[in-house]
C-alpha cells in the first residue's frame, strides 16, 4: 500500500479488513494504521479483542448484556465492556 492514500481510502481499507473476517495479525495492522493516521475506529473497536486482536465471533467469544453494558469475553480471557447507547 502506498503512503499517499487519502484518509478516506485508508478508512475504506480498514473497514474492509474488518468485514472479511481477517486474522489477528491483519487486525493488529489495521489498528496501527488507523492510529498512525489518527483515524478513529469507532464501532469497529468493539469487533475485536484488545488483547489478542481476534475478531469476535460466536466460536471464540461470549456476549452478555448486563446493566446497560455489552460484555464480551474472548477465548483468551480478556473481557471487554461497552456501554450500550439508547
Ligand atoms: Zn482475546
Chain segment 2-60, per-residue pLDDT in tens? 567 899 999 999 999 999 989 999 999 999 999 999 999 998 999 999 999 999 988 99
Q: How far, CA to CA in Å, does 16 sit from each of 68, 69, 71?
A: 29, 27, 25
CA of 5 relative to ligand 1 center, distance in Å: 31
CA of 17 relative to ligand 1 center, distance in Å: 18
Residue 40, in any domain of the structure: yes
| pLDDT the model gives residue 21 | 82
Residue 26, in any domain of the structure: yes
Grid coordinates representing 55 are: 475478531
CA of 77 relative to ligand 1 center, distance in Å: 6
Q: Which residues surround ligand 1, an ion (CB under 5 A)?
A: 49, 51-52, 74, 76, 78
Residues 6+ apart with CB under 8 A from 56: 47, 48, 49, 63, 72, 74
| pLDDT the model gives residue 4 | 78
Helices (H), the chain: 7-19, 24-36
Residue 2, in any domain of the structure: no
Residue 1, in any domain of the structure: no
Domain that holds residue 33: 7-83
Residue 64, in any domain of the structure: yes
Number of domains in the chain: 1
Residue 31, in any domain of the structure: yes
Amino acid at each position: 500500500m502506498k503512503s499517499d492514500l487519502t484518509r478516506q481510502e485508508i478508512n475504506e481499507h480498514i473497514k474492509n479488513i474488518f468485514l472479511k473476517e481477517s486474522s489477528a495479525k491483519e487486525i493488529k495492522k489495521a489498528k496501527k494504521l488507523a492510529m498512525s493516521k489518527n483515524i478513529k475506529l469507532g464501532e469497529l473497536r468493539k469487533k475485536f479483542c484488545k488483547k489478542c486482536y481476534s475478531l469476535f465471533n460466536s466460536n471464540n467469544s461470549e456476549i452478555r448484556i448486563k446493566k446497560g453494558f455489552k460484555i464480551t469475553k474472548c477465548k483468551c480471557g480478556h473481557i471487554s465492556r461497552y456501554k450500550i447507547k439508547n
